[in-house]
A and B are shown apart, each in its own frame.
Chain A
Amino acid sequence: MGRILPFTNDPHRETRDLMPWLITGRLEPEEQARVETHLAACEECSRELAAERALASEVAELPIATGIGWAAMRDRLDNAAQQASFVPAPQPLRRRFTIRRIGTLIAAQAALLAAAVTVTLRAEAPMAPYHALGSAPAAVGGNAIVVFRPDARESDISRLLKNNDARLVDGPTAANAYVLRIPVSERAHALDRLRGDAVVVLAEPLDAAALK
């Protein structure tokens, strides 16, 4: 008395537990032999097996429609490749921050970036119009700053960049802002479209004239 049997020594329970995998033919030969031996002698388990087969077949036949495609993944790969070429050390896009704090950071950052762009443009404007062989491509300045919602997906960002003919120049900055280059003639409309998008928190022009 008082001896506790491990479950595997209880053929009734073992049969009950392993029944689903007997039905799908996924038991080891010795397990299958034990279960079948018990089934031959146990009417309750035989009835249970019949009901379980019906359940198994219904579950297997359930039509679950799937409507998702490769297009989103292709965009993501393109975007990842693009990011890799723009940002030396990629950082996660999703960060937790508060919108209020961002406002301050962005204002300060926009001013700094605008100053930097102005200085860069002034310094580079008179440069000689030739390149030495093997020289690195000239750095391209940005002319807009954008902050995406923290839950924005890479596919959203990629779509917005493509739709607005924008290129990612820098970012994410400390405040998770991205610096974009948008063709000047298109910039005002592009910024309007960006501001109207649900995943965009902020979209502002970035140059000295715009900040005056």
Chain B
Amino acid sequence: MSDGSVAHRQTGENASVATPEDLRLFAGVCARERDAFEALYRLYHPRLARFLLNLLHRPPLVEEVLNDTLFVVWERSDTFRGASKLSTWIFAIAYRKAMKALRRLDEAIEDRDAELRPSDGDTPDAPFGRQRTQEALMAAIGKLSADHRTVVDLTYFHEMGYREIATIMDCPVDTVKTRMFHARRHLRRLMDGELADWL
């Protein structure tokens, strides 16, 4: 896996399922093998980067939180007891680190009045078709709260079940369902003009 990649969803087998490969590498990490850690780092890097970029929207902060997260995996590997999947444990660390980083930033993390403001509208050279839909969707996701963005990304990109997401976000399963419902409703509303093209 080269650096500077684009995170693509794994096809076929579910992307969030712990593979024998990641558990094998983790055993090496527990034995303090730097090579195993590097391989585990490269295995998780694209998914975590995607997750954190979607959540934090600030590439320099993503780099810091991602490395903080995997540094914990290296330093505190003894605290993984196997009660959850390895991926759930790692994502939960990343989520906690990301939320802490957001709280540390003394700035607004979302624009709650975004929907009340007039739309920027299209410029004559606005991109068309699929690219426009994707840009509109990214902008719409950017207007969700951090919690809503997290649930949407973990559900649709990382293909995690709601129980696993509840473990990562340390909240009740009904909260995950409610967040997802509100996030979907917001996205549909924000994507109103684009939605017709999809169906």
Contacts and interface: CB of A to CB of B under 8 A. Distances in A.
Interface residues of A, number: 37
Interface stretch (B78-86, B88-96, B118-126, B152-160): B152-160
Interface in A86-118: none
B24 interface: no
Interface in B146-199: 152-153, 155-157, 159-162, 174, 177-178, 180-181, 184, 187-188, 191, 195, 198-199
A35 to B, nearest CB: 12
Contacts of B180: 17, 20
Nearest to B137: A58
Interface in B1-27: 3-9, 14
B198 A66 contact: no
Interface residues of B, number: 55
B159 A59 contact: no
B53 interface: yes
A66 B4 contact: yes
A197 interface: no
Nearest to A81: B34
B198 A68 contact: no
A63 B6 contact: yes
A68 B195 contact: no
Contacts of B59: 67-68
Interface string A144-158: 000000000100000
Contacts of A54: 195, 198-199
Nearest to B2: A69
A59 B150 CA distance: 12
A158 B187 CA distance: 43
Most buried by B among A18, A61, A66: A66
B141 A26 contact: no
Interface string B118-149: 00000000000000011001100100000000
Nearest to A59: B156
B188 A24 contact: no
A21 B195 contact: no
Nearest to B48: A66
A186 interface: no
B159 A62 contact: no
Contacts of B153: 59
A149 B70 CA distance: 24
A56 B152 CA distance: 9
Given A21-B161, A66-B45, A56 B156 contact: yes
Contact of A26 (B50, B64, B160): B160
B198 A51 contact: yes
Contacts of B141: 59, 62
A27 B7 CA distance: 25
Interface of A: 7, 16-18, 20-21, 24-27, 50-52, 54-56, 58-74, 76-77, 80, 153
Given A25-B14, A59-B156, 11 more contacts: A26-B162, A54-B199, A55-B184, A58-B198, A60-B157, A61-B134, A62-B138, A64-B49, A70-B38, A72-B67, A77-B37
9 contacts: A17-B178, A25-B159, A54-B195, A58-B134, A59-B156, A61-B134, A76-B67, A76-B71, A80-B75
Q: Please provide the 3 A-B residue pairs with the shortest distance between their CB atoms, ordered closest to farther.
A: A66-B49, A54-B198, A69-B3
Interface of B: 3-9, 14, 34, 37-38, 41-42, 45-46, 49-50, 53-54, 59, 62-64, 66-67, 70-71, 74-75, 133-134, 137-138, 141, 152-153, 155-157, 159-162, 174, 177-178, 180-181, 184, 187-188, 191, 195, 198-199
